Amino acid sequence: MLVNCVAYEDGRKLADIAQGEIHDYLARPGCFVWVALRDPSDEDLLEMQRQFGLHELAVEDARHGHQRPKLEEYGDELFTVLHVLELAGDEIHAGEANIFTGPNFVLSVRNRTEQGFLGVRARCEREPGLLKHGSGYVLYALMDAVVDRYFPVLDAIEAELETLEERIFSGKSSRDNIEAMYYVRQKLMTLKHAAAPLLEAVSKLYGGRVPPVCQGLGEYFRDVYDHLVRLNQSIDSLRETANAAMQTNLAMLQVGETEVAKRFAAYAALVAVPTMIAGVYGMNFAHIPELEWAYGYPFALGLMAALDALLFWRFRRAGWL
């Protein structure tokens, strides 16, 4: 599905163009074309490959999807894969953006995601001085937008983790807390898989041998790299917090089980004393001392009650009951 097809020259929008006019504008000096596709068919990608001369391996990755975030260089072209994360209630929905960047074109392909890049296009068009850098600046703006969208996801996970930490000490079900903590760790892993591989990819765009299409934009890509460093550090910190909270929850669960075992032991002792006395009192022998004693039965019951009361007081004072 074709979302936008726009030609730019000297940092300003020339016109919205038809798909069949792309080749004509690519031939104009100082002009570049930005095409946006959403969930394209194989035929759409093959048509874009023909229009822009895209490398077949990059097109194959875009067709199959489910790629690891990466940046690959094919001659004077760059192929970038980004994971686009969206919050859907308590769940994280992961989509994918594939960006083909050449000297005079940008092709952005998004799959399985509702969030588009119209805001990015508007931002670029409001900054003609920066848009003069051409397709490299568009690549920066797209990467910056995707990375910025990770932070609300991180904030939501952090808030969820803080709520779970409060629940751990509230006396609510420890088993439910463990399950919820597991899903928090799973969300953090999803975010980590989206952000961590980009550190290496973005570092290639501002240090060392920078691809020609990104030259002159080092400080911008370095800013994206700084955001990714901060994001990854926060993710690692939250993962450690989640692990510690899970261990604390497990320890509290074990403490609770120990408390239950102590109560069982205390109640067993309360039952054992009367059982012992009743067992002695009911022994079937002909010659037992006090067998004919008139107060033997009430004395046995009183002794049972007194000893149980003493044990109950001791267990209660020790915190077992």
Per residue in 129-188, pLDDT (tens digit) is 999 999 999 999 999 999 999 999 999 999 999 888 888 777 666 677 888 888 999 999
> What's the CATH code of the domain at 67?
3.30.460.20
Q: Note whether residue 314 is domain-resident.
A: yes
Residue keyed to tokens 């930005």: 34
**Rounded-to-integer distance, Cα 23 and Cα 219, Å:** 32
Asked if residue 239 is part of any domain, the answer here is no
Q: How far is the CA of 181 from the CAs of 158, 170, 177, in angstroms?
A: 12, 15, 6
- 8 Å CB contact between 99 and 231: no
DSSP alpha helices (H): ranges in 65-169?
A: 118-125, 128-131, 135-148, 150-168
Q: With b meaning 16 or more CB within 10 Å and e meaning fewer, what string describes 280-293?
A: ebeeeeeeeeeeee
8 within domain boundaries: yes
Do residues 37 and 108 make contact, with C-beta atoms less than 8 angstroms apart? yes
What's the whole-number mean pLDDT along residues 178-205? 92
**137 close to 130: Cβ distance less than 8 angstroms:** yes
In the chain, % of residues over pLDDT 90: 59
Q: Using an 8 Å Cβ cutoff, are 196 and 232 in contact?
A: yes
> 3-state secondary structure string, 37-64?
EECCCHHHHHHHHHHHCCCHHHHHHHHH
Give the pLDDT confidence score for residue 10 in this predicted structure: 92
Residue pair 129/117 in contact by the 8 Å Cβ criterion: no
Q: Note the pTM of the prediction, 2 decimals.
A: 0.80
**Reported confidence tier of residue 281, pLDDT bands at 50, 70, 90:** low
pLDDT for residue 173: 65
Residue 248 has a CB neighbour count (10 Å cut-off) of 15
In a domain, 167, yes or no: no
287 inside domain: yes
In a domain, 229, yes or no: no
Helix axes 218-281, 150-168, angle to 10 degrees: 20
Residue-wise DSSP of 210-228: --GGGTT-HHHHHHHHHHH
321 pLDDT band, cuts 50/70/90, is low
**Domain stop point among 127, 162, 192:** 127
The tally of domains found in the chain comes to 2
Tokens 């092709």 belong to residue: 107
What is the predicted pLDDT for the residue at 284? 60
pLDDT of residue 286: 62
pLDDT band, very low/low/confident/very high, at 102 (cuts 50, 70, 90): very high
Q: Is 4 helix (H, G, I), strand (E, B) or coil?
A: strand
**Which CATH number characterizes residue 289's domain?**
1.20.58
> How confident is the model over 233-259, as pLDDT tens digits?
999 999 999 888 888 877 777 776 676
Phi, psi of 157 (to 5 degrees): -65, -40
Domain encompassing residue 103 = 1-127
> How are beta strands 105-111 and 31-38 bridged, if at all?
parallel
Q: What is the largest CA-CA distance in the chain?
A: 123
